[in-house]
Amino acid sequence: MKYSLKTAPLDALTTDCLIATPAAARRIVTSQGQTDYWDAVSSDFADKPGRVLLVNLPKGRRSRVRRILLVGAGADELCPADFRKALLAVGTALKSAPVREALLAIDAFRVAGYDAYQKTRVALTLLSTQLYRFDAPKRDTAEDANGTRLTRVAIAAGARSRRQVGTAVRHAQALDAGLELTRNLGNRPPNVCNPSFLAREARKLARHDKVRCRVIDQRDLAEMGMGAFNAVAQGSDTPAKLIVLEYRGAPAKEAPVVLVGKGITFDSGGISLKPGAAMDEMKFDMCGAAAVLGTLAAALQARLPVNLVVLVAAAENMPSGRATRPGDVVESLSGQTVEILNTDAEGRLVLCDTLTFAERYKPATVIDVATLTGACVVALGAHASGLFANNDMLARDLLAAGEYVWDRAWQLPVWDDYQQALKSNFADMANVGGRDGGAIVAACFLSRFTKKFEWAHIDIAGTAWNSGAAKGATGRPVGLLFQYLLARTGKAA
């Protein structure tokens, strides 16, 4: 989607479709001499959040607006939840509307607690989500029966808000690029999107003049001592990759932020085979990797002044004669040994070696993103990602970023009390505990490999994709991570 800023008076702008509240819409139709027609067609419209009405306007000598998408907003200012409800309805309507470009009268919406910047950011992120389509493997085009598809959204802002709105449009455009990459990677079929495919996509990001890419192959991983990572990959015919991307947007002396993504491009469960129902959704087990690549893409487009290292632990988890067995003991890159009691708890194995690898960058902060545990879905459902951290300030910053852009997370503990669940008679630790507190125990496992740096873990098992009729990758938590980087670099409005 292409976003832009329009600063001329609203009644002087030309558009295929104006998105406006009833009050703003009436001013436009009055300026075009269409008041009687407007009153007739809009008289029954319920001015409530979530209600929309697409009205085609008659052509006339003064007509600049072809149609208006009327948006219910009520008489008073909207609460943030009702603003989201209104914009979600707008996105749904625009999906099937016969328009190629639209103009959003953002100043017409008053939202409690939101300035012009946040209002614009939230609106465009919602539209990005609603209007996204993935149809790359389809033979037919993605156009509607009317032969059109919305490709441009302009934001109309007055003199008072144009600076904030302009900044928000630029940031929203960068985020849209990151979200699109993340969703596209997540939605691709696993016979296409394997570790080698992720490596090729990473190399495309390295075309940027400030980015370097290195891909470490499975043989080298074994030689480096990444026994936990290699244990996951050894059952597949597709070799694993550790993908390393380094973006230098700040002075070299500045310690980098390291983002680590779980990239299991298909998770069969290995020898601990998953049930067959919904196993197709295990192609989404690489959405953590997709998210950190998408965050980098957004940071590049926004030209953020930050040093960023992105590490993608890419592998398939497959059953075969070479696959790891329950009861096997492996040595991690840190030197700690792990008894593998369940081969379906593989994400923490590729992550633990990658987190140890991150130490060499002397990072300011390390954040890993992973579709790690079904237990997190049980705990939080599909609304909030699980957040764990060994630093309270880092946790607060991430929570605040998610709340700001409505890509919310909820903090869970990483207390030592839970560590005893990982006790093993045959190794330094087991890779699973019992049923209780599964998401927390998994985070505790990872915490054993993060003693040397500030660290947070985001479990997106419940938020990375939707099931059912709306099945597909969501792009979360790219919005949260991008906002965190904006705030960290002082670029957030």
Residue 322 is a catalytic residue: no
Catalytic residue among 6, 121, 348, 476: 348
What is the pTM (predicted TM-score) of this model?
Answer: 0.96
Q: Largest Cα–Cα distance in the chain? A: 85
Region at 229 (left for phi over 0; alpha for psi -120 to 50; beta for the rest): alpha
The amino acid sitting at 197 is F
Query: Quick one: pLDDT at residue 135?
Result: 79
Query: Quick one: pLDDT at residue 347?
Result: 98
Query: Quick one: pLDDT at residue 41?
Result: 87
What's the rounded Cα separation, in Å, for the pair 368 and 260? 4
* C-beta pairs of 391-397 under 8 Å, 24+ apart in sequence: 391/454, 391/455, 391/456, 394/365, 394/454, 394/455, 394/456, 395/456, 397/484, 397/487, 397/488
Question: In Å, what is the CA distance from 12 to each residue of 7, 18, 64?
Answer: 10, 12, 8
What's the rounded Cα separation, in Å, for the pair 181 and 98? 26
What's the rounded Cα separation, in Å, for the pair 202 and 251? 23
Residue 330's φ and ψ, nearest 5 degrees, are: -125, 155
What's the rounded Cα separation, in Å, for the pair 439 and 459? 8
What's the rounded Cα separation, in Å, for the pair 413 and 394? 14
Strand (E) or helix (H) holding 468: none
SS3 content of the chain, % helix, strand, coil (to 5): 40, 20, 40
What's the rounded Cα separation, in Å, for the pair 269 and 370? 16
Residue 421's SS3 state is: helix
Catalytic residue among 274, 448, 452, 488: 274
Contact present, 421 and 434 (Cβ < 8 Å):
yes
CATH hierarchy code of domain 180-488: 3.40.630.10
DSSP string of 338-377, one letter each residue? EEES-TT--HHHHHHHHHHHHGGG--SEEEEEE---HHHH
User: Residue written as tokens 């029966």?
Assistant: 145
As averages over each run of 10 residues, the pLDDT of the chain (493 residues) reads 93 93 92 89 90 90 87 89 95 93 96 96 94 80 60 94 97 98 98 98 97 97 97 97 98 98 98 96 98 98 98 98 98 98 98 98 98 98 98 98 97 98 98 96 98 98 96 98 97 79
Among 332, 305, 308, 315, which residue's Cα sits nearest to residue 238? 315
Domain ranges in the chain? Answer: 2-159, 180-488
247-275 burial by CB neighbour count: b if 16+ within 10 A, else e? bbbbeeeeebbbbbbbbbbbbbbbbbeee
Residue 303 is a catalytic residue: no
Strand (E) or helix (H) holding 87: helix 80-96
Residues in the chain: 493
The top-level CATH class assigned to 2-159 is alpha beta
Query: Quick one: pLDDT at residue 137?
Result: 75
Q: How many CB atoms lie within 10 A of CB 292?
A: 31
User: Residue written as tokens 């932020």?
Assistant: 257
End-to-end CA distance of the chain: 22
Q: Which residues pair with 479 in a beta bridge?
A: none
Contact present, 347 and 388 (Cβ < 8 Å):
no
Beta strands 257-267; 2-6: pairing state: unpaired
For residue 206, what are its two tokens?
């390295």
For residue 303, what are its two tokens?
């030209």
